Amino acid sequence: MRQAGGPAKPFRCGIVPPYLLARLAEVDDPRFSAAAEAARKSLRVDDPIRSLRLGERRTTALPTLPVDAVPGVATRTISDAGHLERLPGRVVRVEGAPPVADVAVNEAYDGLGDTHELYWSQYLRDSIDGRGLPLDATVHYGREYDNAFWDGERMVFGDGDGEVFNRFTISLSVIAHELTHGVTQYSANLAYQGQSGALNESVSDVFGALVEQYAAGQDVQSASWLIGAGLFTEQVQGQALRSMRAPGTAYDDDVLGKDPQPDSMSGYIETEDDYGGVHLNSGIPNRAFYLVAEAIGGNAWEAAGQIWYDTITGPNLTTTSDFATFAAATATAAVARYGEGSTEHDAVLAGWDGVGLGVGPLQAAS
């Protein structure tokens, strides 16, 4: 059951895993000296948030909506931090205003709109809270800040260091990923720790990919299934931060190392770092979703996406649900919408089996 008093304000959920920034921070190569320093600064910015204990998560009240809000119509505000680490910054574009000269502002504005459009047109969800929440974002946060994050209230984008990372508004999957942390915050509210935290990350990857595919009109076969394509500069041997089709293959670089994500339970990583490996083990449910979508075919945001959406907004998850519980909940959602033994239901069972997670009976959420 959902927690009373509104959703818990989550940790700062950054798109770049801390282990990747930590590796970059230790690089001793003059070609990447600016990137190494940028990574060190980015880690210092994020560390105060990461040091919070789970028990210190506070709740946020539901927002007061604009009196003239129209259901299904986005209300976007983009601000510019001016390379400071203060939020929200100076407002530079509001809903309905024309594009400006700053490409990051326009990419953020469009990305928020694309994300809102998928949730409304496909799932009848009015913004990330389901009640028309205004969508706010800040660009040009800090100097050479190597991350983008959702802080429970707004999207925030760094500009990257220019050696390893480009600007973080460049990838629609990144924008939609971070906004989906807000959707999870207002629905399943999966705790950002261990398997529930990996599910939190995976749900964001799933809908990050689906927003990108929907905006581009890509079906299962033509989509890249990459999260963060375009973030790396040409100096990096890698396609993106993560691959949902093939976790562990997104990059293999002499500076950043090899993508460490496992693609099945046989490679599950036990660690205390990164909140218990939330960015690592998310590769397992990511791969499961891809297998489900592949088996169903067509557009992944339709049946496969609907099942995942029904799961995170339904009654069968708790804040600490693990992979097995989530898998069973997706099977239950598939039966409820498409019927037992349907193509969609069979695809869900096969998808989880494909990552080493047989679907057992669903335990009642409490």
Four-point Cα dihedral 272, 262, 227, 77, nearest 10: -30
Q: Coil, strand or helix: which one is 254? A: coil
Q: What one-character-per-residue DSSP string does 50-95 give?
A: HT--GGGPPB-PPPPPPTT--TT---EEEEE-TTSS-SS-EEEEET
Residue 267 DSSP code = G
Residue 294 designated active-site: no
Residue 116 designated active-site: no
Q: In the chain, what's the furthest Cα-to-Cα distance?
A: 59
Q: What whole-number distance in Å separates Cα of residue 108 and Cα of residue 128?
A: 16
Exposure on the CB side of residue 184, measured as CA atoms within 13 A: 34
- Which residues are registered as beta bridge partners of 156? 138, 149
Q: What whole-number distance in Å separates Cα of residue 248 and Cα of residue 265?
A: 13
Q: Are 279 and 96 in contact (CB under 8 A)?
A: no
Residue 273 DSSP code = S
178, 201, 294, 344: which one is catalytic? 178
What is the helix, strand, coil percentage profile of the chain, to 5? Answer: 40, 10, 50
- Which residues are registered as beta bridge partners of 258? 252
177, 181, 279, 345: which one is catalytic? 279
Question: Which candidate, 161, 193, 211, 217, places its Cα nearest to that of 322?
Answer: 193
How distant is the alpha carbon of residue 98 from its chain centre?
Answer: 28
Residue type, 64: T
Q: Kindly list the catalytic residues.
A: 178, 279
